[in-house]
Structure 1
Amino acid sequence: MKKILIVLLGSLLILGGCFQMNEKTEEEKEQEGTTPVQDYVGQGFSFVDGDKSAERVKKHEEEIKQEAINYMKTTYKTDVKVNNVVPARNAAVVMVECEEPIQFHTSVIVSLVLNKDDVGSARSDEGEVEKAIVGGLYAKAYKEEFEHLDAFAEKIAKEYDLLGMREEAIDKTASVGYAEKYYFIAIAASYYPNVYNAYIENPAIPVDELRNLFLKDDPSNEKMAIAMNFFAKEESLPKKELVNNLASEILQESRLPKGTYETTVYKNLIVNRVGLPDGESIDAKDIIK
């Protein structure tokens, strides 16, 4: 009798697990899963306890968007557009993009007032918007060099049969600052106080002045990092030799923006809920140009 009871309990537990799996929504499945980088456009992107505030965020979405836009304009003298509003714990994370006078992606956190059906104030994580601004200013100061980097990155991606992030994914999930398909600028704004302060005083600061200020804050360009990120077309990683060859081509290429280049090749999959690569990667030695 005990054996029969144990078997029955085991069967019920298995069935219970199946019922729970069947009850999961498509959104929950997306959040738990992965997607090939070529198909990832932000599906399932989420934050902790976002499900608990999703209804309120949806109800107040327009107010939340405007709060984020106002925050960027008031605090950083910068106009942005909203690409995504993502529910979070007692808040919404608003993914925003600046297109003029500089380009960058960042995020703003808009709180929800506890025990009230109302939207609170906006804020940003320390240093996040500042680094996005400085990255955008560097791309503006060296526009031709970055245009050459775009073309060069596209060329070597095709040469080695590699992929990059889709624009839709960057818009909906990225808050790293200046980001393109195959790279982003990875810096701390605290390294460039003269550059940042000059922008806050005058967002229309001329390119020549920007270049002088970057040289003043970082004469050898050693603090400027450009992360080159590529993805394999398959789930398996390419050989280390391929990544080293990529790094060698970057080293030999002229007319690229100055800085330290960090070259990485990831597997093909993106983790939906965080919008970041899944699994292992191969890194090349950093290159200073």
Structure 2
Amino acid sequence: MKKKVIGLLASLLLLGGCFNLNEKTEQEKAQEGTTPVQDYVGQGFSFVDGDKSEELVKRDEEKIKQEAINYMKTTYKTDVKVNNVVPARNAAVVMIECEEPIQFYTSVIMGESINKKGEWSARSNEGEVEQAIVSGLYEKAYETEFRNLDKFTEKSAKENDLLGLRDEAIEKTSSSGYTSNHYFISASSLSFPSVYQAYIENQRIAADELKLLFAKDDPEGNILSIPMEFYSKEDKLPDQEIADNLAERLKQEEGLPKGNYMVTVYKNFIVNRVGLPDGENIDVEEIIK
């Protein structure tokens, strides 16, 4: 799990690209900087070479938004809203959110047609939307347990003087499926084919039926991962003891969703251009609930 998370952080950090050192714009300055997590709301979030398509994306922003919404409705039978449109290399990345009948964040990539100016086509990274849908279905199936997890993480953060991501930051930058201020759900659709197919056939599938399908696809209840993330109130890492104590309390806590948990604590800053910390952390892995 740790290798997967660090790999994700490393790959996203590369998206920032290189910057012109002469006459930097306010956006470029924001992209290069870091922001305390309690103040980060998506400023400077960007993709490599986004400046080259910024004018084009701005011109067709409303059209891009609508095409992304249409793509999600047609391909995944899911209604979404657009939280952010971010210029990218020869494209735009649309950060979207589903609120009903399940909750999740994901993204759609929009590219302008080569032959028809002003026409945009949508696609998504392989498996990303499907994974987001499965994570939202897991939260729906075990809503009571996830509300218990919310209470646990909020209480743990307060008692240990730790912070989490702001709602605005999640909305503007997250494509990680079901995401809260202190955790997200990582669930490959390939591991839950029955769950995913049932949703495509019936978006209003009941929670009880979902529980049966999750149990069918994952009898042991340990395929699905729930990485938990906290941030120090200072720009330094706390002692490893903090992560160890959080992990021990998590092991003892009852009434939480089943899954493979990981507890990670970062310093008090976000790298603006990727909406993530730089990866330096203290952690405890492989906590099976």
State yes or no: 1:54 paired with 2:40. no
Is contact 1:267–1:279 with CA below 8 Å preserved after alignment?
Answer: no
Compute the displacement of 1:187 (Å): 2.1
Aligned residue number for residue 148 of structure 1: 148
Q: Which one-letter code corresponds to 1:34 in the other structure?
A: T
Aligned residue number for residue 252 of structure 2: 252
Aligned residue number for residue 169 of structure 2: 169
Aligned residue number for residue 10 of structure 1: none
Q: Which one-letter code corresponds to 1:51 in the other structure?
A: D
Aligned residue number for residue 278 of structure 1: 278
TM score, norm. by length of structure 1: 0.91
Is contact 1:90–1:114 with CA below 8 Å preserved after alignment?
Answer: no
Aligned residue number for residue 187 of structure 2: 187
Hey, what's the Cα distance between the residues in 2 that align with 1:63 and 1:123?
15
Structure 1: 5+ residue stretches without partners: 1-19
Aligned residue number for residue 70 of structure 1: 70
TM score, norm. by length of structure 2: 0.91
Q: 1:115 to 1:75 in 2, by over 3 A?
A: closer
Hey, what's the Cα distance between the residues in 2 that align with 1:288 and 1:212?
20
Q: Which one-letter code corresponds to 2:73 in the other structure?
A: K
Hey, what's the Cα distance between the residues in 2 that align with 1:87 and 1:279?
25
Hey, what's the Cα distance between the residues in 2 that align with 1:236 and 1:89?
34
Q: Could you report, residue by residue, the CA deviation over 1:73-129 in whole angstroms, capped at 9, with x for unpaired residues?
A: 000000000000000111110000000000000000010234753132100000000
Hey, what's the Cα distance between the residues in 2 that align with 1:252 and 1:41?
34
Hey, what's the Cα distance between the residues in 2 that align with 1:119 and 1:254?
52
Compute the displacement of 1:21 (Å): 4.9
Is contact 1:194–1:213 with CA below 8 Å preserved after alignment?
Answer: yes
Hey, what's the Cα distance between the residues in 1 that align with 2:235 and 2:91?
35
Task: Provide the secondary structure at the position in 1 that maps to 2:92.
Answer: strand
Q: Could you report, residue by residue, the CA deviation over 1:143-199 in whole angstroms, capped at 9, with x for unpaired residues?
A: 000011111100000000000000000000000000000000012110000000000
Task: Provide the secondary structure at the position in 2 that maps to 1:235.
Answer: coil
Is contact 1:33–1:271 with CA below 8 Å preserved after alignment?
Answer: yes
Instruction: List structure 1 segments (4+ residues) > 3 angstroms apart after TM superposition.
Output: 114-117
- Give aligned pairs, total: 270
Q: 1:57 to 1:214 in 2, by over 3 A?
A: same
Structure 2: 5+ residue stretches without partners: 1-19
Q: Larger Cα Rg: Structure 1 or Structure 2?
A: 1
Equivalent runs, 1:1-289 vs 2, <5 Å = 21=21, 23-114=23-114, 117-289=117-289
Is contact 1:163–1:231 with CA below 8 Å preserved after alignment?
Answer: yes
Q: Per chain length, whose mean CA-contact separation is higher, i.e. which structure has more relative contact order (CA < 8 Å, sep 6+)?
A: 2
Hey, what's the Cα distance between the residues in 2 that align with 1:208 and 1:197?
16
Task: Provide the secondary structure at the position in 1 that maps to 2:234.
Answer: coil
